[in-house]
Structure formats: structure tokens, C-alpha cells
Structure 1
Amino acid sequence: MWKSVLGLALALTASKVSAKPALQSPFHRGVNVLGYDPYWTDESKRRFQWRHFREIRSAGFDFVRLNLQAFRHMDAQNRLEPAWLGKLDDVLREAHKAGLGVIVDEHDFN
């Protein structure tokens, strides 16, 4: 008898599970930023300014994609330079302050 009850309970549970999970993208409209901007190597020559994040958000975008070339900022033990990581932290903070999501895309290809 307990096998019948267990079987029935499992069948009822399984029947309520959808075969198609509801997936929803957290991001809808985005733009690439800072890929080749001098910000990463010489901040005095940067073109991208923090206000651009607010302008991107007010234009209707909800995320930015950072195209990074981080390999050149690694030491012999493949550790990223602390100063470079600090710049990345600044970018993430400013994008989030503007209400934007961020995709970090390591873009090195060699």
C-alpha cells in the first residue's frame, strides 16, 4: 500500500513540473564600452568619462559590455596588476551607480 501512495505522490509531483523552464534574460539592450579606450593604460588620455554611463542609461540601455584585454596586464605568474584591478573596480562601481548591469568580456585572442 505504501508503494502505491508513494507512486501516486511522485506522479502528482512530476505532473506539476513544467518541461520548459521560464527563462528571462536579465539584460535587454546593451552597448560595448571601454574596449580600446586609453583608460586602461594611460588614464590621462581616456576618452570615456563616467557621465557616459548615465547618458547610456538615459538613452534606454540597461547594460554595458566591457571588452577587456587583460592578458597584457598580467605578471609572469598570470596575476593581474593591482592597479588594473582597481580601474576595473572603478568601472563596475560607476556603471552600477548609473543603474546599468555589466557583462565583463575577456576579449584577448592569443
Structure 2
Amino acid sequence: IAEPEGGEVIGEKAASPWLYIVPWGIRKVLNYIAQRYNNPPIYVTENGMDDEDNDTSPLHEMLDDKMRVGYFKGYLAAVAQAIKWVTVTSILSQIHVSHVLVF
């Protein structure tokens, strides 16, 4: 859903060629599920983005991850807007750090 019919990009691109950052998209999907299926409890089991794998960057650069902070701010704000009408029970975000999975 990164491009509308006209071919115009609607979000910032992450590292994967198919992954775009479109926070309002999660709100639209949550609203659709709530309307279509009589507002069931929704568990968001994966939410995150990838970036260029650069293990040679200094730690202070890796920790100053403005793109990922912006990603989570945008997506969590969109979910916060949706929970006024949608039953979002939990959100699980995964972050991979040096091949270690952090929850």
C-alpha cells in the first residue's frame, strides 16, 4: 500500500524495497477491522521497520536512531487515535540489535 493508483509514493522508504513508513495506514486498517468484524480485540503482534545493516557504526550513532524514533512516534500516535473507537488490546514491537531480538 505504499503507492496509490497514480504511482505517487505516500511514505518514507525503509531499507527493504517493499517497506514504506505510513503511520496513518495502521489506523485505517484498525478502523476497517473494527467496523467489518464488530470491534473484536486486536493484538498487533509485529510492528517495526528495518534499516541498512551497518555493524561498523559507532554505538552512539546506532543509539541516535532518529528514523526509528520517528517511526514509533508516528505509529503509536496513529494507534492512539484509533483506540478511541477500536479495541486494541496490545502492541508488540520487535527490534533487532546486533542479531539479538529485543521485545
User: Higher relative contact order by CA 8 Å / sep ≥ 6: 1 or 2?
Assistant: 2
Give the TM-score normalised by structure 2.
0.43
Highest Rg: 1 or 2? 1
Give the TM-score normalised by structure 1.
0.41
